[in-house]
Amino acid sequence: MKLSISGLGCKGLIFVGCFLFLCLCVSGNSYAVHPLISDDAGTTGTGKFSLEMNAEYANDNGDSETQLAATLSAGIRENIDLIASMPYLFTRINEGNETLKEDGLSDITVEVKWRFYEKEGFSFAIKPGIILPTGEEKKVLGDGKAAYSLHFLTTKELDPVSLDLDLGYIKNRRELRDIWLYTLAAEYAVSKPLTLVANIGGETNPDRESSVHPLFLLGGMIYKINENFSIDFGLKTGLNKAEADYTVLAGIILDF
C-alpha cells in the first residue's frame, strides 16, 4: 500500500514518529511470537520487558488496511506477564469512483498471561484481557464498546520444533456475534539465529448475517540478530472469502 505524507494526517505522523523513535532507541532475550497469530505459553520473566513493534498490510479485493502496533510485555513474576498493545490503523476503501481513507488509533488491549503449568516440555497458560474502545467507531477504527477476552494457551517443546495451540473467546456487544478463535502454530529452529514458522487457524465471523467464518494460513521466519534483538517476516493468505486475500507482516522484538 502506498501512503502519501499528506494522507497520514497530523496524528498519524506523530504516531509514526514515535513508532520509529522507539524502534531506534530501545534495546534489550527475546521470545518471538510475531509474525504468528497464535500466542504461546511463554512469559518474559520477573523484572524483564519485551517490546514488539510490527507493521501489517492487508489487501482484500482492492481494499486495504495497514496497521502499526506496539506491544509491551512486563514480567510481574516468573510466570506472569502484564501485556499492553496499542495499534494504529490506516484504511483505504474503494466505493465506486470514490476512495475513502481513514487513519487513527484503534482499540487498545490490556491482558494478563499466567503460565500455571510447566513440566517435561509442556506448558499451559491462560490469558484474560480487556479491549478498550479507544478507536473511533464512526471511522471504523474501533468497535465503540469495551470487549472482554480469554485465551487458553498450550506449548509443547520438541527440540528443534515447538507447537503452540491458542484457543480464544471474545465477548462482543449484543448486536455482534461473540468470537471463538482457534489457531495452531509450529516453529522449527533451522539454526541458532533462524526459525521458520507456520500458522493455521480461524475465528467466528462477528457479522450475524454471514455464515462464512474467516480461515487463514501463514508462513514466515524469525531471525535472531543477537540475544536481545530479533526481526521477523510473514505472509498470510485467506482460505475463504471472509478472510483478507493476503497480509504481509514484518516486525522487530527487543528484550530488556
Provide, rounded to the nearest whole percent, the portion of the chain with pLDDT above 70.
88
The structural domains of the chain, with segments of one domain joined by +, span 5-255
pLDDT at 13 over 70: no
Label residue 41 by pLDDT band (50, 70, 90).
very high
Q: Where are the alpha helices (DSSP H) in the chain?
A: 5-25
What integer pLDDT is reported at residue 23 of this predicted model? Answer: 38
What integer pLDDT is reported at residue 22 of this predicted model? Answer: 41
Higher pLDDT, 173 or 81: 81
Exposed (0-12), middle (13-18) or buried (19+): which is 21, by Cβ within 10 Å? exposed
DSSP lists the bridge partners of residue 253 as 52, 230
DSSP lists the bridge partners of residue 189 as 195
- Superfamily name with CATH number, domain 5-255: monomeric porin ompg (2.40.160.40)
Exposure b/e, 176-188, CB count within 10 A at least 16 = b: beebebebebbbe
Between the CA of residue 106 and those of 88, 160, 183, 250, what are the distances in Å? 5, 37, 23, 19
Specify the pTM: 0.85
Q: What digits encode the pLDDT tens for the residues 126-168?
A: 999 999 999 998 898 988 899 999 999 999 999 999 999 999 9
Q: Worst-scoring range by mean pLDDT, 99-103, 153-157, 179-183, 186-190?
A: 99-103
Q: Worst-scoring range by mean pLDDT, 12-16, 59-63, 187-191, 238-242?
A: 12-16
